[in-house]
Structure 1
Amino acid sequence: MPTLETLTFDKASFDAHVADFVATPWLQEFKRNAWAQYEALPMPNRSDEKWRFSDLKKITLDGFKPATEPHTEEREALLERSHLVDGYSGRMVFGDNHLLEFNPVSEELADKGVIWLPLQQAISEHPELVKKYLGSEDHKLGGDKFRALHYAFLQGGSFLYVPKGVEIEAPFVAYYWNCHCEEAIFPHTLIVADSNAKVNFVDYYGSKDSECNCPTLSIAAGASFAEPGGQIFRKVVQDYHLQTVSLQLEANIAKRDANVKTIALNLGAKYARIENQTRIAEPGSNVHVYSLTVATGEQEFDQRTLQTHAAPNAYSDLLYKNALLDKARTIFSGMILVEPDAQKTDAYQTNRNLLLSAEAEANSLPGLEIEANDVKCSHGATTGQIDQEQLFYLMARGIPRETAYELLIFGFFEEIIEKFDNEELKENVRSLVRSKFDSR
């Protein structure tokens, strides 16, 4: 049998991978179905509206193989850098799909029924609970083939279940690092807040070598399920090196009176596609989706969103802000879908683009599809440069032009950064953004 070092994503590599899961027959079947779907689906093409404006030449699965375990020195270096948030309720660190360190919950939280486990361990110890949620979200934004490959080779990931009525303030944190050239990782985060539970979560995606000149691939998936009255606040930071192809497939499902909030900071990758879909399944829910992207060089960030209101008397708000320098490109394509029974829907969608270079390109495609007749919905997009009147105002008060220019840029960022509720995380996010500017 060929070794993992020589395999690519073909039938032989899949058969070698799935053979390791003989102890969980339902997961093997789940993976086989995913592989069959992957093989049956074509790669995206330019005629597909869901990939409009995307530079498909930047997306390839050729030449990548399943990731190998980091060496001892690599493990130690990654653990040293896994400190975006130190005040946590639980932590996991993964390097190339392999678990490097696991910090479990306190005895007090464990006694309350909180389950915080590496996904593979959760599948073994809580199969019915994981099976209920894993892969159950619909996916309608175009990344079906990549989603299928993710589930076929799913290995490293985190699982969090917070029982009814349990509220946890300190966040749970998962770090996913890529380490080796021409290898692929498949990070997975699965969060379940049961009725009236409350939880905070932070995901970090990063690279061992920030200056790496060889390609890597990441196909990540995250799903948040808020049961009635549940509250989930998830933050995602993506800071891969600039030869990474990154696909993030995100889903939020909100039941009756649930509150779900997500914030994403996107900094890294050569090409990054972010698909974020929200489904308000029951009345009374509130969902907020925020994103800040800083694009430099020839980076491309491809953002696709869907806010589906399937129930009445619910609220959703989406704000995506992009700052573009050099020859960077962004695509924002968002849709608010209001189904016939979702009366009294209150939904908003905004995309704001700040062009800091004459060669940068921002594409915006906001949209509404409303099938109910008693709703409040709006969508909009703006693209512009630094306001010259504001710049003049600051300079007239003695602030040097370069400093004034920078203050206005970081003021544009701050509307999103301020929404991070953890002060330690907030300051580290500011540092990451600052580092990206300083490295240009």
Structure 2
Amino acid sequence: MPTLDKPAFDAATFEAHLAEWADLPWLQEIKRSNWEAFEKLPMPSRKDERWRFSGLHRNGFDLAQFRPASAPETEQKEILLERSKLVEKPAGRLVFADNHLIAFDPASQELIDKGVIWMPLSQAFKEHPELVRKYFLEEEQKLGSDKLLALHNAFFQDGAFLYVPKGVEVKDPFIAYYWSSDCEETVLPHTLLVTEDNSKVDFMDYYGSGKEAACCPSLSIATGTIHAGAGSQVFRKIVQNLSPTAQSFQVEANAADRDAQVKTIAVNLGAKYARLENQTRVAGSGADVKMYSLTVATGDQEFDQRTLQTHIGDHATSDLLYKNALMDDARTIFSGMILVEPTGQQTDAYQTNRNLLLSPTAEACSLPGLEIEANDVKCSHGATTGEIDSAQLYYLMARGIPKKTAEQLLVFGFFEEIIEKIDNEELKDNLRNLVQSKFQDIL
């Protein structure tokens, strides 16, 4: 049941929220249309093919349990700011706690002079309305979380906005931290990244839980969008490290124009139930998209992964590799589709899901798929599920390495193919430490 002294997601709460945006009538209109859609849409059901095998309700999800987040206490802000240091010297940093901005490190004056825009999304709405409106919520969502996304769009308060103009290359990564710090509250992270022609940038989102939210349910409904202009290079990292009692929904929608290079890496560690939807439009001729994911599932966690690679432009490529390691009674679901439209001639697309089972009671479901409407393509998909190689384990143990340590080394080796693709050494080491910290009390 929701906490009685805090408002739930109802019509009165929405009207109060909408009044806060009175100076942006165009955004009010978007929010109202999404609230109306939320009220009409049914909750996700396994009868929907897009939710096949999902254990959402088995994991105890009840939307009525959650409420909009309230501002964190000063002491909590200081704790979260101290934890927001995965990259010591980023190009820019935003830190949000319970949907409220608590720190903003702007881009350098050199980048500002080149036209780079880095700021909270709420500020960008007011200072760059025409630019934001051109890209905001332009990508149609097709993977199933319609109702939850409508709630997000109706109630979100803030997020990160990054715009990189034509020909500008940024060496250091931008990073946004989104923290949840209280029980039964809902955080609504929103990231919008736009790159113009022949630009280059790295970006990272981190989703985490504060102390108060570590032992009670919380809800995160996050969305991120990349619009990659012709010839631009975008590398986005996403780390989901919420508490083991959280419920997480993450909806990603990316678009790659002519000759653009878009690479995304998702590191999934937290939440009791976590659903990741990642769809990409390979829209331009010669575009190249790479989608990688690393998931550590322990206890009774469930990670529900849905992907869509839509090829529209010709002579384009995409490559998806999702790796999952499962322990205890954990479950993973991977459902992916490569869709090649008639215009997508000379497409070269791959989709691979690899699952490593470390427990006889863990379960991995894989449903890769192809839908080809062009007649000159090279596409393939595949999935593998297996245990640790006994010969490799024996090799390490025969050299005096204890069994649990040997198992840990083999699992890290399984994930290293993903981690090695990160080009920032500091971030790479910190992500290894996050993965290791989850294993240290298990293996």
Bucket of the pairwise TM-score, normalised by the shorter protein:
over 0.9
Distance 2:40 2:77 in 1: 37
| Within-5 A mapping of 1:283-302 | 283-302=285-304
* Distance apart, 1:154 and its partner CA: 1.3
1:84-125 Cα distance to aligned partner (Å, 9 max, x none): 111210000000000000000111111111000100000000
Is 1:186 aligned with 2:188?
yes
Is 1:411 aligned with 2:421?
no
Tell me, which stretches of 5 or more residues in structure 1 are unaligned? none
1:332-383 Cα distance to aligned partner (Å, 9 max, x none): 0000000011000000000000000001000000000001110000000000
Distance 1:336 1:70 in 2: 42
* Distance apart, 1:252 and its partner CA: 1.1
What is the aligned partner in structure 2 of residue 243 from structure 1?
245
Change in CA separation of 1:5 and 1:223 when aligned onto 2, cut-off 3 Å: farther
| Within-5 A mapping of 1:395-434 | 395-434=397-436
1:177-217 Cα distance to aligned partner (Å, 9 max, x none): 00111110100110001111100001100000287221100
What is the aligned partner in structure 2 of residue 214 from structure 1?
216
| Within-5 A mapping of 1:275-314 | 275-314=277-316
Any conservation in 2 of the 1:279–1:307 contact (CA below 8 Å)?
yes
What is the aligned partner in structure 2 of residue 15 from structure 1?
15
1:87 to 77, 86, 89: 89
Distance 2:390 2:11 in 1: 58
1:295-314 Cα distance to aligned partner (Å, 9 max, x none): 00000000000000011100
| Within-5 A mapping of 1:34-433 | 34-57=34-57, 58=59, 59-209=61-211, 212-433=214-435
Q: 1:40 is aligned with what amino acid? A: K
Tell me, which stretches of 5 or more residues in structure 2 are unaligned? none
* Distance apart, 1:405 and its partner CA: 2.0
Change in CA separation of 1:306 and 1:390 when aligned onto 2, cut-off 3 Å: same
* Distance apart, 1:4 and its partner CA: 11
Q: Which moved more, 1:385-394 or 1:285-294?
A: 385-394
Distance 1:127 1:426 in 2: 36
* Distance apart, 1:6 and its partner CA: 2.5
Q: 1:178 is aligned with what amino acid? A: S
User: CA RMSD, aligned part only?
Assistant: 1.3
Any conservation in 2 of the 1:8–1:65 contact (CA below 8 Å)?
yes
Q: 1:293 is aligned with what amino acid? A: T
Three-state SS of the structure 2 residue aligned to 1:292 is: strand
Counting matched residue pairs gives 438
Distance 2:71 2:56 in 1: 30
1:390-413 Cα distance to aligned partner (Å, 9 max, x none): 122223344333332221111001
* Distance apart, 1:437 and its partner CA: 1.0
Three-state SS of the structure 1 residue aligned to 2:391 is: helix
1:151-192 Cα distance to aligned partner (Å, 9 max, x none): 101112000000000000100000000011111010011000
Any conservation in 2 of the 1:325–1:357 contact (CA below 8 Å)?
yes
1:310-331 Cα distance to aligned partner (Å, 9 max, x none): 1110000000000000000000
* Distance apart, 1:67 and its partner CA: 0.5
Q: 1:129 is aligned with what amino acid? A: L
TM-score normalised by L of structure 2: 0.97
Distance 1:246 1:229 in 2: 33
1:232-268 Cα distance to aligned partner (Å, 9 max, x none): 1000011000110000000110000000000000000
Any conservation in 1 of the 2:181–2:212 contact (CA below 8 Å)?
no
Distance 1:172 1:292 in 2: 21
Q: Percent identity?
A: 65
Three-state SS of the structure 2 residue aligned to 1:415 is: helix
* Distance apart, 1:36 and its partner CA: 1.1
Q: 2:163 is aligned with what amino acid? A: Y
